[in-house]
Amino acid sequence: MSGARTDDLLLQLEIDQLNAAYAAALDERRFDDWPAFFVPEGSYKLQARENFERGLPLALMALESQGMMKDRVYGITQTIYHAPYYTRHVIGSAQVLSREGERVKAQANYAVFRTRPGDSSEVYNVGRYLDEIVRTDDGLRLVSRLCVYDSEMVLNSLIYPI
């Protein structure tokens, strides 16, 4: 196997590990860990596929820094009241789209399921992550994560990050 091919596979594995750790933090309700997956000026956006494909800017959620993400975490954990539920993220293998120095663009499909205690599970949100990732001294970090969701109807209790 050539060195370039090996490097590509190792990068994909690193991105898959980043996504696995990201999902585990959210599914285990370690919301305080969530902003650390991003660089300080990182962005997180949740946008409908229709708006994304039409180039329309409207997004369900748009956070433009770790500070805004920390505010969201505070809201999730301290101020928002809702019926309790658990999430389970299933994330497909990453596809590296481009690579320029330490910056990588990648995408991965995701499905998030929601389970309310004592109830059955349901599909919560399905789509794909469009990521810009950079290598830092602490490993890979997200510069931006755009969650493009396929569902036309979004559950009115979209509280936790996808």
Tens of pLDDT, residue by residue, the chain (162 residues) = 567 788 889 999 999 999 999 999 999 999 999 999 999 999 999 999 999 999 999 999 999 999 999 999 998 888 777 778 889 999 999 999 999 988 999 999 999 999 988 888 999 999 999 999 999 999 999 999 999 999 877 766 678 899
- The pTM (predicted TM-score) of the whole model is 0.93
The domain defined by 3-149 carries CATH number 3.10.129.10: no
Q: Give the CB-side neighbour count of residue 14, counting CA atoms within 13 A.
A: 18
Structural domain boundaries in the chain: 3-149
Residue 86 contacts residue 115 (beta carbons within 8 Å): yes
How far apart CA 36 and CA 102 sit, in angstroms, is 18
